[in-house]
Amino acid sequence: MSIIDPTTTLIRAPEVLRMIGYKSRDSLDRLRKSDPTFPKPVPISNSTARNASIAWTLSEVQEWVETRKQRRDHAA
């Protein structure tokens, strides 16, 4: 059994969408443009095309979600 290291594990858009509760890739793209705190994607190909393959680091997305939860808890 291998242990997953969240600092080096890359996840693709469908996993990110599930983690943040979004349903569509368009929503994710809008979030990326409107929220400068959202993690930057990692290119996983050498392509510079508009729809080139990208992924996110699992730990960075987890940290972003945790920050949002903390912000919610402090606002209450």
Q: What tokens were used for 73?
A: 């808890």
pLDDT score recorded for residue 1: 62
pLDDT score recorded for residue 19: 96
Global pTM reads: 0.86
Looking at this protein, which amino acid is placed at residue 34?
S
Per-residue pLDDT of the chain (76 residues; tens, 9 = 90+): 678 899 999 999 999 999 999 999 999 999 999 999 999 999 998 888 878 899 999 999 999 999 999 989 888 6
